[in-house]
Amino acid sequence: MRASPEAAAHAVPAPIEPAPGGLAPGAHAGRPLVIACGALARELVGLTRRAGLPAVDLSCLPATLHNRPERIPGAVRERIRRARARGVERIFVAYADCGTGGLLDRVLADEGVERLAGAHCYEFYAGRAAFAALGEEELGTFYLTDFLARNWERLVWRGLGLDRHPELLSAYFGNYRRLVYLAQTDDPALTATARRAACRLGLGFERRFTGLGELGPSIAAFAGAASGKVA
């Protein structure tokens, strides 16, 4: 079975690979840890290195798990337990539900760990109310983020085999009407890439600047709580 456009769009190895003990190289057991989807690594590196936040370690899982979301809960549980075996006590999970159908929440309830609110990255980038409004405007919307725009050719066009089998375009995207680029940065090159992607898919194009949306406040709140400060 071929992957859906949404699944293929996340099919990329994590930029930050964990050490055998479950933490990224250079991590410290006494610092708070964010266990994250690799698709968020660039944004999380920027957030956790920003002035005003205490030191936070990152451990990213491969974004290829989006192709098999039923494996996300087990992978997250394993990473939590490996980190705790290293002495890490303060952990936050930078995943939304991500297609696990509530199974990730069951794991996190067992482990006593919180995660990002929402169903997927589009929702926490856009904001829950704004994302709901986008769906009401046009149900047939395909979304891109900076990550997906940056990796569009490899992950979507070639990842879905459209370079080799253009006849699949209507099968994959026939029910879509528009492409909405949820932009985290003001990058003209990424905007141009997203616009070209919409054109190649035969979809209308719209750009919405979101910044980091609810990702930033969530990580800041975790970092503040871990340091004993009010976020």
Q: How does pLDDT run across 157-201, given as a tens digit for each residue? A: 988 899 999 999 999 999 999 999 999 999 999 999 999 999 999
Instruction: Note whether 12 and 99 are same-domain residues.
Output: yes
pLDDT band at 66 (very low <50, low <70, confident <90, very high): confident
- Report, as an integer, the average pLDDT of 2-28: 48
Same domain, 39 and 140: no
- Look at residue 50 and tell me if it is in a domain: yes
Whether the per-residue pLDDT at 20 is higher than 50: the answer is no
What proportion of the chain, given as a percentage, has pLDDT over 70?
A: 83
Same domain, 66 and 156: no
State the average pLDDT for the chain.
Answer: 86
What's the domain count of the chain? 2
Quote the domain boundaries for residue 194: 122-209
**112 & 142 share domain:** no
Residue 231 lies in a domain: no
Contact 76, 18 (CB under 8 A): no
Domain match, 109 and 10 both = yes
Summarize the confidence of residues 84-105 as an average pLDDT.
Answer: 94
Give me the pLDDT at residue 225, please.
72
Contacts of 50 (CB under 8 A, 6+ apart): none
Q: Are residues 63 and 23 in the same domain?
A: yes
Q: Is residue 46 part of a domain?
A: yes
Examine the domain organization and report whether 132 and 194 are in the same domain. yes
| Residues 61 and 24 occupy one common structural domain | yes
Please state the pTM of the whole predicted model: 0.81
Alpha carbon separation from 131 to 84, 180, 182, 205 (Å, rounded): 35, 11, 10, 16
> Percent of the chain, pLDDT > 90?
68
Query: 215 or 15, which is more confident?
Result: 215
